[in-house]
Amino acid sequence: MVLKVNKYKEEYRLINIPSLKVEKIKQYLDYCMNFEMIQKDFSLYDSITDGARYVPYSINQAMINNIKHSVLFKIGIPAYDASGQDKCKKYLKAYKAFLANPEKIRLANNNAFLKQELDRHKTFFDKIESNPLTKMQRISIITNEDNNLVVAGAGSGKTSVIVGKVLYLLKKRLANANEILILAFNKKAQEEIQERLSEKLEIIPDVKTFHSLGNYILRFGQNQKGLSKLATDDFMFKNAIKAIIQNSLEDSDFVDIMKIYFQEFFYPVPNIAQFKVEGDYYNYLENFEIRTLNTEKVRSLEECYIANFLYLNGIEYEYEKAYPYDCGKIDYGIYKPDFYLPAYDIYIEHFAINKNGTTPSFIDNKKYIEGMKWKRKHIIFIIQTS
């Protein structure tokens, strides 16, 4: 008796079938019929671990589930084909290593991909904007996670990253223009993104503000009520926000959050190194009119942080109180240290230097350091920050 099994367009024969147990025959038949599926499963696994593409978290989780329910895990290693045994042993070894630490393997794959992708598209990222994108901007663009959170300060190039992301998705054919939606916080940002994309594309994706998207969804859903008056009346909107905050002040957790917000996040924090001339920096501060919780207008965000810390901790202070002692020199005019703590007779002086002891580019470093030395020499009781 001869049984023929078609496998990869070749015929293999099992001779002396009667001498084999029925279970073994069934196992071999299962193996032959499913070996192609086993190799297909492993090919899929190999495609997300070879560093050729970015693997998001969701795909990795799907692969974990796929491996656990794979044909190979169900029927085991075949007993009748030496070459098949070798391949399946290799597959099982890789699977077990993956299941032992799937996140580690995903990160290793993604790190390899990011490195290669940065090299492959160097020219693209160099020329996509008037100035070459920074390495972190490029990584933000090519990272294809399920959800990407990019934290960036004012003036750090967020619009360039958005434009770069769109062009990258289209270049890689990861999406079509009609499959991309860009949301901006305000009309000005929306118009800027539209203008920048129009310079580079014939067909641009939808660019909407959050409000215009909401309005579009309402119209699409044939909403008969229309927009709330809070969306169109700034006075009513501000009063509604004030009422919400006022009603929430009885919640101690909310109060703690509000304190942190007003102390640390009330004003956008620029990277001082981005300003090339002193005037640009002070114009920036003037536009936002940096004021402390105690209502003083201060000269920097750092001074605002110090003042708010003192205020929230109940420490009385005076901002820029004239120094009453004879400094023995008139070169600096009336000397006013940043803060004075009357209860302790202590002055706080904040210096605009980084951890390396250097000033921003628009400040004369040598002259500033000389001024620091003079202040340290003449102030009797001083706390220094930088």
pLDDT digits (tens, 9 = 90+) for 44-92: 888 888 888 899 999 889 888 888 888 777 766 765 566 677 788 888 8
Average pLDDT of the residues in 16-41: 63
* pTM (predicted TM-score): 0.54
Q: Mention every residue, 6+ apart, whose C-beta is less than 8 A from residue 282.
A: none
User: CA distances (Å), 76 to each of 69, 72, 83, 134, in order?
Assistant: 12, 5, 15, 50
| SS3 at position 349 | strand
Amino acid letter at 166? V
Let me know how long the chain is. Answer: 386
Average pLDDT of the residues in 131-141: 91
pLDDT above 80 (res 298):
yes
- Where along the chain do its domains lie? 2-110, 121-220, 234-265, 272-385
User: How far is residue 135's CA from residue 148's CA, in Å, rounded to a whole number?
Assistant: 16
pLDDT of residue 152: 83
The angle formed by the CA atoms of residues 146, 151 and 155, to the nearest 5 degrees, is: 130
The angle formed by the CA atoms of residues 20, 24 and 25, to the nearest 5 degrees, is: 75
Average pLDDT of the residues in 202-208: 92
At residue 6 the predicted structure's pLDDT band, cuts being 50, 70 and 90, is very low
Which CATH fold topology does 121-220 show? Rossmann fold (3.40.50)
Amino acid letter at 12? Y
